[in-house]
Structure 1
Amino acid sequence: MIQIVERGAARAGGLAKLAFALGIRHQAFYSWKRVPAERVLAFERLTGISRHEQRPDLFGPPPDVAAGHIGAGPAASQAGAGHPSTGARK
């Protein structure tokens, strides 16, 4: 069984519960080489594991990584840019 399914099952309360919620038999997980495209969104909803982590081949890297904003929040990009909250307005 692939690691992402093991992690997802742990988050969902077990393999049987995850399979039931996905509407499949738990044995199906053993044939997965990766999460099938038609199951990605439901798997994400049930486990909290991002679609980007499950299938980067379909969804690419997470948006923060793709935009190059790793570790930088919106406040960092606006600091001192004349934003009203900085008091820079006259």
Structure 2
Amino acid sequence: MEKLKTFLAAMPGLDRQRFAVRCGTTHAFLRNIVYGQRIAGEKLCVAIERESSGAVTRRDLRPADWHEIWPELAAKAAA
């Protein structure tokens, strides 16, 4: 979760809250993901990737199982 942590840390506090809202969650929940207390759901992973303009990807957020959730990305990575 280092990428998400670094991405959020680079933002001023209010921007972090706005980012979380655009992703459909709260800054507190994002913090829980960063520190391993929660796992980002599939929809949230897609939203974070979209709202971060790809700076934090689904692969970053779900390193153990991203290839099972999004097999089309695994196919692209293998090509």
Taking structure 1 as the reference length, the TM-score comes to 0.50
- The number of equivalent residue pairs is 64
**Shift in alpha-carbon separation, 1:54–1:25, aligned structure 2, 3 A:** closer
State TM-score, norm by structure 2.
0.54
Question: Which structure's residues are more often helix, by fraction?
Answer: 2
What does 1:1-90 align with in structure 2 at a 5 Å threshold? 2-9=1-8, 14-32=15-33, 33=36, 34-47=39-52, 48=54, 49-60=56-67, 63=77, 66-67=78-79
Identity, % of aligned positions: 20
1 or 2 for the larger relative contact order (CA 8 Å, sep ≥6)? 2
Segments of 5+ residues of structure 1 without an aligned counterpart are 68-90
Instruction: Measure how far apart 1:10 and its partner are.
Output: 5.4
Unaligned runs of 5+ in 2: 68-73
